[in-house]
A and B are shown apart, each in its own frame.
With several copies, the nearest count.
Chain A
Amino acid sequence: MYQEVILDHYKNPHGRGLRDGDAEVHHVNPTCGDEITLRVKYDGTTIEDVSYEGQGCSISQASASVLNELLVGKELAEAQKIQETFLELMQSKGKIEPDDAMEDVLEDAVAFAGVSKYPARVKCALLSWTAWKDATSQALDGADAEKETTA
């Protein structure tokens, strides 16, 4: 489950730290205490930045780093497709063997395929992605942008 790619992202996270944003959310995984504070910044529908701070296991930390690497600079529609594909992979209970098409979409994130076999860890991998989705809808809906939520 601990692919080299995951360990790399864990040890050298991309884009970590909180920077300016249009919306901020704070998500917690109550079963293991993993936490993330995440901000998104949009330029129209282009993702200008995803910045974050958090504590947690290597899976949740690496996943946030991969998210940053994958989504920054992307159009919202494409980012959503990536998010959905990642969700699908993580909920597959180890039954999806990523094909080339999936690898094209997910890039480094395919390394998490093995995590999907471990129900206790799937939530860790999804933490930042759920936070991103939530922050995005707050940023784009405008309203409630500052509200803290707990999932």
Chain B
Amino acid sequence: MTQLPGLLDTEAIRKDFPILDRVLHDGKKLVYLDNAATSQTPRQVIDVLDEYYEQHNANVHRGVHVLAEEATALYEGARDKVAEFINAPSRDEVIFTKNASESLNLVANMLGWADEPYRVDHETEIVITEMEHHSNIVPWQLLAQRTGAKLKWFGLTDDGRLDLSNIDEVITEKTKIVSFVLVSNILGTQNPVEAIVRRAQEVGALVCVDASQAAPHMPLDVQALQADFVAFTGHKMCGPTGIGVLWGRQELLEDLPPFLGGGEMIETVSMHSSTYAPAPHKFEAGTPPIAQAVGLGAAIDYLSSIGMDKILAHEHALTEYAVKRLLEVPDLRIIGPTTAEERGAAISFTLGDIHPHDVGQVLDEQGIAVRVGHHCARPVCLRYGIPATTRASFYLYSTPAEIDALVDGLEHVRNFFG
């Protein structure tokens, strides 16, 4: 067994994840390396979900019966956990959504309907980057189309990093919002938040950080980031599907208009007009994903009990090892940074001219789950002139042995199509 410094006790951790025992294709043990797409769910979270439905299920808020009070306490307790997890100054800054995509659309729509000074309109500019996930591209394209605002972006360097050389031309006095990914889901790149935030603050633009690939993997401190909005998603951090988070600075959430209208988000309604509840409720229309928020709270408890700094160190060690081993495979080209510095644990690559679909399929036959395609970041593939990549991505339960299995699997792929 390969021993790397900084690894977690994966033998113990893996026992928490029932799915990791799965055996595929007549006897192949599951090697799950698709964590950037979604993470697996520990027993501790599944149990909390069960307990919710078996003991406490009720609609939240306004109920005077025991179940409603319990469900409300659990739901709002999950908000407290999220706030603490990201070091939010106030729990009221934590909005529950259904996924990171909704969180990002929420920001785009708030700004589209806002009054000055926030309003995005035809005289203003929106800035994103070429390495965004489609969920941080399309909402801004829609906003630009619908308001006439101009959409601009940072390009990429050949080695998979943001090209900030023209930052003063990209972010200008006209810029209202800069939205970018903290850790890229396709390249693995971790972006230099400080430089971007500094320039945005200079011109008075708001900053939105897509932390979907960061929140699961490293300590996240929204105050240290100095961003105005931070979005992430539960299913990538050991939580259930169907739950996302948008954190926003309190005074912004007070000033900005609501997005979805409905029950729970109002103060008072008449047929002629309505007033809205204070944030976060203003942005949570309808019955929220109650069990899912509670499940996310349990996931946060789980991750915190292990320690986000330890998880970061574990993944860093794995990434270092994986980069080294992968570069030993002939014809393998990593798309993105080729060292473990300033990068997360998602590694994209091409393998000669074997199509990623074929790579993924033959790996699957050996029980190895990777993702192939454009990973919802097609502009990155266009930028590097490739149709798609194969991506392996790790998490707290990943092991060096799984990386070895991947490398062996890739050798097999090469022989198969050779």
Spell out A's residues near B (CB within 8 Å).
1-2, 7, 10-11, 28, 30-35, 55-59, 118-121, 124
Contact = CB atoms under 8 A, between A and B. Distances in A.
Contacts, number: 62
Contact of B361 (A11, A30, A118): A118
A136 to B, nearest CB: 24
A30 B63 CA distance: 14
B69 A58 contact: no
Interface string B107-131: 0000000000000000000000000
Contact of B357 (A7, A11, A30, A124): A124
Nearest to B73: A119
A33 B362 contact: no
Interface of A is mostly: mixed
A61 to B, nearest CB: 8
Given A118-B69, A124-B357, 9 more contacts: A7-B416, A32-B357, A32-B388, A33-B388, A34-B355, A56-B357, A58-B354, A119-B72, A120-B62
A144 B63 CA distance: 36
Interface of B: 61-64, 68-69, 72-73, 267-268, 354-358, 361-362, 372-374, 381, 387-388, 416-417
The 10 A-B residue pairs with the shortest CB-CB distance in the complex, in nearest-first order: A33-B387, A57-B355, A57-B357, A30-B268, A58-B358, A30-B267, A57-B358, A33-B388, A120-B64, A31-B62
5 contacts: A31-B61, A33-B388, A57-B355, A58-B358, A118-B64
B417 A31 contact: no
B387 A2 contact: no
B387 A32 contact: yes
Given A2-B416, A32-B372, A33-B374, A120 B387 contact: no
Contacts of B358: 57-59
B140 to A, nearest CB: 21
